């Protein structure tokens, strides 16, 4: 139930090319299907880039599986561009008061690892929607991200 609510929130804050890419990711990863892997995400940094309304996000993903208790950590980087959108309903406007959306994003592993692009969209937009500055965002969102670890399965 929580995963569906998080993905719905991400879709309400994603537009254009990013929304189509997010749909492709959802189809591939099947986040609503129970799995045996547990993944936690820890933000390392959020940096505004020289390109207007773009941010570079660095994070670490720690995962484990019930069948193999070895903990694996993968580092990721992503660039996210943020724009504005016209919200269709009052409920959407109340959920996204500033009308912000991720218009495009590119994510790559350092080294290879599983992706959780939807979570990063959620975190980035949460910071922007709440008008949280970049340095404050890492301090504010990281503890929350640890408590609400982006996970699939093992519930």
* Cis, bond preceding 131 (omega within 30 deg of 0): no
Alpha carbons within 13 A on the beta-carbon side of 57: 32
Helix (H, G, I), strand (E, B) or coil at 99: coil
d(CA 140, CA 122): 14
Domains of the chain: 2-31+38-64+76-147 (3.10.450.230)
Instruction: Check: CB of residue 109 under 8 Å from CB of residue 74.
Output: yes
Q: State residue 142's pLDDT score.
A: 36
Strands (E), 5-145: 37-48, 54-65, 72-84, 100-110
**For 15-59, how does the pLDDT look when each residue is reduced to its tens digit (9 = 90+)?**
999 999 999 999 998 888 888 888 889 999 999 998 889 999 999
pLDDT at 155 over 80: no
């Amino acid at each position: 139930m929580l995963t569906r609510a998080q993905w719905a929130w991400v879709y309400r804050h994603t537009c254009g090319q990013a929304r189509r890419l997010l749909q492709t990711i959802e189809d591939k990863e099947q986040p609503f299907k129970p799995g045996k892997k547990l993944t936690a995400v820890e933000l390392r940094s959020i940096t505004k880039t020289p390109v207007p309304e773009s941010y570079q996000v660095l994070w670490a993903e720690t995962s484990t599986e019930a069948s193999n208790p070895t903990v694996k950590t993968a580092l990721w980087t992503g660039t996210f561009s943020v724009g504005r959108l016209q919200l269709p309903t009052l409920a959407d406007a109340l959920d996204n008061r500033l009308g912000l959306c991720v218009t495009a994003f590119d994510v790559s592993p350092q080294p290879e690892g599983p992706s959780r692009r939807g979570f990063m969209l959620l975190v980035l937009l949460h910071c922007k929607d709440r008008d949280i500055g970049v340095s404050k965002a890492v301090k504010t969102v990281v503890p929350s991200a640890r408590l609400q670890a982006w996970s699939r399965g093992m519930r």
